[in-house]
A and B are shown apart, each in its own frame.
Chain A
Amino acid sequence: MACGSTKLWNGEATWFCCGSAWGPCASAGGGACGTCRSSALQAAWPNASKECWDITRPDLCGEDIPRRGCGSVMKVRHDCSGASVCVTVSDCGPRTRSFCSESTCCDGVCRTNRVIDLTPAAFSAIGSLSSGTLPVSIFE
């Protein structure tokens, strides 16, 4: 599947580690899809499966996020700079329900609710890891 331009969703992007890793992430494993690596351009999606949805529950924050399973390709664009990266869904997350109404802003643009979790490689391609979150738009 190509990295497309059809708008899918928008919200906050966070980052996480997966696969073999150092530090507290050493036990992270390959994620829900079994293929996740911190060094790859990958993402976790809150509705990667029914089981995933039951954990993340974005609907509790008013987000009726569509299902996109392992292997789905998305383009994630930083809403302020326009920088973008293509990622493959490789895990389940973020746990949207735990941070309902949280928003991230830049240059007057704000996005609310955590809707996608990027690997360090993917997140750092469009922003700084030390920021923790970014406002993004997602395309497929």
Chain B
Amino acid sequence: MSAYRTGTPLDRRRFLTTAALHGATVVGATALGAVDADAAFAAPIRPLDPAVAESAFAEGRITAINDDVLAVAGSYGDHSRVRVTGATSVWKARATTAADIETGDGLYARGVPLPDGTLAADAVWVNIVNLDATIRGIEKTRLHLAHGHHEIVGNLMAETTSAAYGTASPTADLSRLTIGQSAQVLGAWRPSDGSVDLVRVTVAPGAGRRR
């Protein structure tokens, strides 16, 4: 259904397929933009490679990990197998490797369907959430957030959590966050306790002067 601009010489489909079928190890494949949040925010965003005529998508909870294949239980009772290769970019609160993926994690995966029924993942975002929330409380190590009718604990991570105040670049300075602000929260869900490790908290330009 999607149409992509043509003209880039890299044949991503062939690259992924080769990596998946032959176990090639390629480090740092971020051609499709699945890098850490701050870098992605600051740098020109390069989305899905034009060489990929049509992408496939999978979501759900990881029920098993067999070598480089993730068994995924979808949210509607469906099942999929996601193949992670050396060419797959992995995000789990930061750009990382497949070694950080655990059974029980949630994921969104984008890639190319292979003849064996697996999805050769170009990018895997593990436990990623992007929530429309309201700041209800601020502590030294965490924020209390309201997401709809639910309360969520947001864990502040040293040297990782940043705040984005409108058009300014994300900063480690969280001092302008205030209770009552609307905030977009990009982070990684912790299946063990339901909290969210905060990667970036975005509030409106002119924070503190709410409409």
Q: Which residues of A contact B (CB under 8 A)?
A: 3, 14-17, 19-25, 27-28, 37-39, 41, 60, 78, 80-86, 93-95, 97-103, 106-107, 120-121, 124-134
Contacts and interface: CB of A to CB of B under 8 A. Distances in A.
A6 B46 CA distance: 24
Given A93-B132, A126-B47, A131-B33, A24 B194 contact: yes
Given A20-B75, A130-B125, A132-B37, A78 B45 contact: yes
Contacts of B194: 23-24
B60 interface: yes
Contacts of B50: 81-83
B131 interface: yes
Interface residues on B, range: 35 or more
A132 B211 contact: no
A124 B182 contact: no
14 contacts: A23-B127, A41-B1, A81-B47, A99-B184, A100-B204, A124-B108, A125-B57, A126-B47, A126-B48, A129-B91, A130-B34, A130-B40, A132-B37, A132-B130
A132 B186 contact: yes
A102 B205 contact: yes
